[in-house]
Amino acid sequence: MSLTTDSFDYALPAELIAQQPADERSSSRLLCLSGDTLSDRVFSELPQLVQQGDLMVFNNTRVIKARLYGKKATGGKVEVLIERVLGEHEALVQIRASKPPSAGGVLVLEDCANAQVLERIGELYRLRVEGDQKLLEVLDRHGRVPLPPYIARRPDPGDEARYQTVYAREPGAVAAPTAGLHFDQHLLERLQEAGVRIAWLTLHVGAGTFQPVRVQDVARHRMHPELYTIPEATRDAVVETRDRGGQIIAVGTTSVRALESAARETRGGSFDIAAGPGETSLFIVPGYRFRIVDRLITNFHLPRSTLLMLVCAFGGMEQVLGAYRHAVARRYRFFSYGDAMLVDRIRR
């Protein structure tokens, strides 16, 4: 299928871009899409919309305070955004500065740590914190919550809790898996009481999730690689659920990409998933054959973005874009702090 980025555009009034989270996590609106059928619900009604024996898979990555400000040794101001933590002292980063730093240059970050620019890798830089300080310790003490660029305000103390899922465990993400922001502890308990099984995986969301698709021909776009881990218990839960005829519900596009990246076809023609760590650059667009996931919980995504392309592949291109027009007309709230969708995989 030949696709262009223009095919995934839609008109969005700026006032529908949510600048603050909902008063309560589960009070967000929920637009349900199943084939050509739409229904307007509230997120707290989710236990009524799933079945006993279904499996819901969550991404338990934890957002780190990934934005740092500082200066070059020459005095020029810099802004550093972590893309991926590489070790105790190193990271791949984006750097904003009036003049790009050179390899070997030193940055003074938040007046507390020196970091050397080791090399440039495409649009990113490999940075090493000097001395005994560990990178995550510097970020925890001095970093800022990495709110996405369409939230036109500085982070406030409330963002440290609300731009984080209630079940976040594994530090490493520089953007929240935003579909999970709608869940509170009470809703998780209600889902389990309804007979829904819960499983976890980890995919550390990189800052590349906000990068625009800069090519008109979608086939030429390349995704930033992201690390994921699927525990053995989650692999077993997926297999058992499928064997019993239950549905696999992915919470967020990150869970979809991890599960689909780990899928392996068996000799009988069905699909298993491989447990353990992995790295994915999987770019899902319409025409992709989903192998694991049956239903998707997701937020509303930016026009022309890879995330919108994934949702269009999952729920049907015409159906999803029609749902977005419905959401705009009904004044849903968009993007990270906005409302959500429950999308059934379209059957071809």
Q: How far apart are CA 83 and CA 128, in angstroms?
A: 13
Q: How far apart are CA 343 and CA 315, in angstroms?
A: 6
pLDDT band at 145 (very low <50, low <70, confident <90, very high): very high
Q: How far apart are CA 85 and CA 89, in angstroms?
A: 8
Mean pLDDT, rounded, for 268-293: 92
Residue 1 has pLDDT above 70, yes or no: no
Mean pLDDT, rounded, for 178-182: 98
pLDDT of amino acid 210: 63
CATH for 5-63+159-344, options being 3.40.50.2300, 3.40.1780.10, 3.30.2010.10, 2.40.440.10: 3.40.1780.10
Residue 128 has pLDDT above 90, yes or no: yes
pLDDT band at 209 (very low <50, low <70, confident <90, very high): low
Mean pLDDT, rounded, for 271-296: 94
Superfamily per CATH, domain 67-142: QueA-like (2.40.10.240)
The sign of the torsion formed by the CA atoms of 135, 140, 141, 145 equals positive
Name the packing angle between helices 306-315 and 253-261 (round to 10°).
Answer: 70
Q: How far apart are CA 288 and CA 280, in angstroms?
A: 15
Task: Give CATH 3.40.1780.10 domain extents, the chain.
Answer: 5-63+159-344
**Cα angle value 291/292/294 (rounded, 5°):** 105
Residue 123 has pLDDT above 70, yes or no: yes
Quote the mean pLDDT of the chain. 94
pLDDT, tens digit, 9 for 90 and up, residues 211-223:
678 889 998 888 8
pLDDT, tens digit, 9 for 90 and up, residues 69-82:
999 988 899 999 99
Residue 208 has pLDDT above 70, yes or no: no
Mean pLDDT, rounded, for 227-249: 96
Residue 252 has pLDDT above 90, yes or no: yes
Judge whether 81 and 174 are in contact, CB under 8 Å: yes
Task: Give CATH 2.40.10.240 domain extents, the chain.
Answer: 67-142
Q: What is the pTM of this model?
A: 0.94
